[in-house]
């Protein structure tokens, strides 16, 4: 067998098995025709001689290594400098997918890589085994190595900072090596765990695109490399510190899994494949995504139980279904400088514990959630005073703080045991449906971020096994810990602490490239916003939050009667349409006006669609181009409703407001090819449009 093919929905990968020692990806992209003869690739992909290079230059194989003369960045580097020269020992198929086994008997290493196909994506698992007689130190191991596609012209980066996550930019691919790494002990805001390539003509709905994602909650790297003779490669893997990973004889290292998507359907092609993968591998969700009320921006640390009971009544009146008590509930926690690590209710605020508040919340028809940050402690805490040796600190030095916090050393078993015991007791003593699990600082100094991450995952897994009905949200200063490894454990991700709806337009557009809307938390914040100071209308705030897992962060007591009415009506809309929002096909685009963001959730059968058309800034032109929709059935006719309240002053520029009040009809073909014109020239304008297919009746 010279070539082998794996199909994953609309994607195909073909492996070249003709190499003397290895296997390599020969093709990765949109699905090849079923009748394509792989033997034809023998001629089509044959390389001629290369001038002034090795007579038999090594290819970018599944794990290129320096021992075979590979001149680029090796996929594997041993700590002692020993050269690796893999040979393809076996190719087999098992229940987990297609398996490739590579061996170097002299170096004493075996690499086993498994490719599992999903709908439009592949999940790749790599294991390194020590088959020799000496312990092996591993300095670098790429989970996935792929040839750099000839069409690749740009790399999409997803960097950012606190309150400015998922900042997307397109950068040209330069010659040489370009490696991005996260070093803070979590995926971080650099997003090294996401590697996206696009062709010259990449758009929202067209063009070649390829994405790699490392499903790992610790440090990672991603590499794009264009070598001098024209060939190139991409890699992704766990970033290892010096001396961090050693493998004894007879033992192995299971590297984090990686997700791979290749499409010819542009950014939305990537989006659909990642959303389907999330549905396949993500933690089970407990029914419809309940509307959250989160207490943080409403009261911060300034509350007592009576204040919280009032908040709960106000939240329930707006339609909230879950009340989440954020920071400040535990002993000695009146600012962010004390109390972390002491996970018992504060007796001043809760003399009878949390149970009376929980009972009150449940009497209002809501369930109860709680904020925790188990991996951290404050110097001013009982935990630190009792166990000062439990924190990450330099040898014979003082542990440095960030946000007044220290990091507990989760590589120590006694620390993990203590955290499990206190969290388990908290969940046993109280009827808690949800934990907002935060992680508000980087790990430093830390000799082994890997062992810290493993300790965190073991703690999380053990807690989930003991309390399987408790949903957990991953929050790390906002979106600092987002990955598909956690998606197998967590029901929700908090994309950003920034609840400014204008900023959230960009954040959620980028985050949704990987995260489905049913796992992406978005809340209606206060106005003016506590982070940006921007004043935004309630309708605009609520509409952005609807296209996610919706929640409220603002203090209802500070809202006017009209604001409450608008918020309550949008919560009711969310509840009425959340099956469509979370179960339909989600598309995000800029349309023909780059200043307008278009979000569209459409039923898979095309029978219904909910559309958000939003503008952040003032338009340069005085006329908005028509909004061309997607995913509708061209043969069906749709009734179009502009959901009230209409944005002001934009609605005053409707040419025939009366016609829109009565509802309008048009065919799917016209809506997709011609579009519909709405006034979208004013800043912070958001139209919400509902389309419903009209049943045709023969006369």
**Residues marked as catalytic:** 438, 497
- Tokens linked to 455: 């300790």
Q: Are 60 and 147 in contact (CB under 8 A)?
A: yes
| Most distant CA pair in the chain, distance | 89
Radius of gyration of the chain (CA): 27
Identify the three-state secondary structure at position 545: helix
Residues 13 and 41 sit within 8 Å (Cβ to Cβ): no
Instruction: Please name the residues in contact with 481: beta carbons below 8 A apart, sequence gap of 6 or more.
Output: 186, 187, 217, 439, 474, 475
Q: Measure the CA–CA gap between 108 and 78, rounded to whole angstroms.
A: 11
Task: Count CB atoms within 10 A of the CB of residue 99.
Answer: 16
DSSP state of 166: -
Phi, psi angle pair for 29, to nearest 5°: 175, -160
| Rounded Cα gap, residues 75 and 63, in angstroms | 5
Report the 10 Å Cβ neighbour count for 178. Answer: 16
How far apart are the C-alpha atoms of 156 and 195, rounded to whole Å?
A: 7
Q: How far is CA 362 from CA 140, 286, 410, 433, 633, in A?
A: 51, 17, 35, 11, 43
**Pairing outcome for strands 220-226 and 109-117:** unpaired
Pick from 539, 471, 536: nearest CA to 498:
536
Angle in degrees, CA 62, 64, 69, rounded to 5: 150
- Residue with token string 């493993």: 454
Neighbours of 373 (CB within 10 A): 21
Determine the Cα–Cα distance for residues 429 and 449; give it in Å rounded to an integer: 33
Residue whose C-alpha is closest to residue 682's, from 611, 614, 618, 609: 618
Residue 407 is given by DSSP the state: E
Smallest CA-to-CA distance from 623 within 579, 592, 597 is with: 592
Locate 641 and state its tokens.
Answer: 């409703």
From CA 425, how far away is CA 419, in angstroms rounded?
A: 10
Burial 80-92 (b: 16+ CB within 10 A, else e): eebebbbebeeee
Residue 4: strand, helix, or coil: strand
Say which DSSP state 694 is in.
Answer: P
Q: DSSP letters along 99-132, please? A: EEEEEETTTTEEEEEEEEE-SSEEEEEEEEEE-S
Three-class SS state of 357 = helix
* Angle 635-641-645 from CA coordinates, rounded to 5°: 160
Gap between the Cα atoms of 14 and 221, Å rounded: 25
């Amino acid at each position: 067998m010279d070539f082998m093919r794996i199909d994953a929905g609309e994607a195909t990968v073909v492996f070249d098995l003709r190499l003397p020692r290895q296997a390599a990806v020969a093709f990765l992209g949109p699905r090849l025709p079923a009748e394509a003869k792989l033997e034809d690739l023998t001629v089509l992909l044959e390389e001629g001689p290369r001038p002034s290079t090795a007579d038999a230059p090594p290819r970018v194989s599944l794990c290129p290594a320096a021992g075979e003369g590979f001149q680029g960045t090796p996929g594997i580097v041993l700590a002692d400098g020993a050269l690796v020269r893999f040979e393809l020992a076996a190719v087999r198929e098992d229940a987990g997918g297609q398996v490739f086994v590579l061996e170097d008997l002299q170096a004493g290493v075996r690499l086993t890589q498994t490719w599992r196909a999903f709908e439009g994506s592949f999940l790749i698992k790599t294991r390194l085994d020590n088959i020799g007689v000496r312990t092996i130190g591993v300095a670098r191991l790429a989970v996935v190595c792929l040839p750099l596609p000839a069409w690749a012209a740009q790399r999409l980066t997803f960097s950012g900072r606190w309150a400015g996550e998922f900042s997307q930019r397109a950068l040209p691919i330069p010659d040489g090596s370009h490696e991005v790494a996260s070093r803070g002990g979590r995926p971080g805001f650099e997003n090294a765990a996401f590697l996206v390539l696009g062709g010259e003509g990449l758009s929202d709905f067209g063009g070649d695109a390829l994405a790699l994602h490392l499903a790992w909650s610790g440090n990672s790297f991603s590499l794009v490399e264009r070598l001098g003779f024209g060939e190139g490669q991409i890699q992704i893997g766990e970033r290892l510190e010096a001396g961090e990973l050693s493998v004894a004889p007879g033992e192995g290292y299971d590297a984090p899994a990686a997700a791979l998507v290749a499409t010819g359907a542009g950014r939305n092609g990537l989006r659909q494949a990642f959303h389907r993968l999330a549905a396949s591998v993500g933690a089970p969700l407990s029914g419809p995504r309940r509307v959250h009320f989160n207490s943080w921006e409403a009261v911060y640390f300034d509350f007592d139980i009576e204040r919280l009971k009032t908040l709960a009544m106000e939240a329930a009146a707006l339609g909230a279904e879950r009340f989440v008590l954020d920071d400040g509930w535990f002993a000695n926690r009146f600012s962010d400088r004390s109390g972390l690590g002491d996970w018992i209710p504060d007796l001043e605020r809760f003399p009878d514990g949390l149970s009376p508040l929980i009972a009150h919340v449940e009497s209002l028809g809501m369930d109860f959630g709680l904020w925790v940050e188990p991996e951290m402690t404050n110097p001013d805490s009982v935990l630190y005073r009792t166990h000062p040796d439990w924190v990450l600190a330099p040898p014979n030095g003082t542990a440095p703080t960030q946000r007044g916090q220290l990091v507990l050393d989760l590589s120590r078993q006694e620390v993990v045991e203590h955290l499990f015991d206190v969290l388990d007791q908290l969940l046993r003593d109280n009827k808690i449906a949800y934990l907002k699990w935060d992680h508000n600082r980087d790990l430093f100094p830390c000799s082994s971020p890997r062992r810290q991450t493993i300790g965190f995952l073991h703690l999380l897994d053990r807690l989930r096994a003991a309390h399987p009905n408790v949903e957990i949200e991953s929050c790390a200063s906002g979106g600092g810990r987002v990955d598909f490894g956690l998606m197998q454990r967590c029901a929700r991700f908090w994309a950003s602490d920034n609840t400014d709806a204008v900023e959230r337009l960009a954040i959620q557009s980028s985050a949704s490239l990987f995260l489905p809307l049913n796992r992406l938390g978005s809340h209606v914040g206060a106005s003016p916003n506590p982070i940006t100071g921007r004043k935004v209308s309630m309708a605009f705030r609520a509409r952005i939050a609807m296209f996610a897992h919706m929640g409220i962060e603002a203090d209802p007591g500070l809202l006017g009667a009209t604001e409450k009415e608008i918020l309550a009506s949008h919560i009711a809309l969310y509840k009425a349409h959340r099956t469509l929002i979370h179960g339909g096909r989600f598309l995000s685009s800029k349309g023909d006006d780059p200043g307008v963001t278009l979000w569209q959730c459409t039923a898979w059968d095309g029978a219904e669609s909910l559309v958000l058309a939003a503008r952040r800034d003032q338009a340069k032109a005085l006329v908005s181009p028509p909004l061309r929709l997607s995913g509708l059935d061209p043969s069906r006719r749709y009734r179009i409703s502009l959901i009230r309240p209409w944005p002001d002053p934009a609605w005053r520029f409707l040419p025939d407001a009366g016609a829109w009040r009565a509802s309008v009809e048009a065919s799917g073909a016209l809506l997709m090819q011609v579009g519909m014109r709405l006034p979208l020239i004013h800043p912070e304008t958001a139209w919400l449009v509902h389309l419903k297919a009209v049943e045709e009746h023969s006369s």
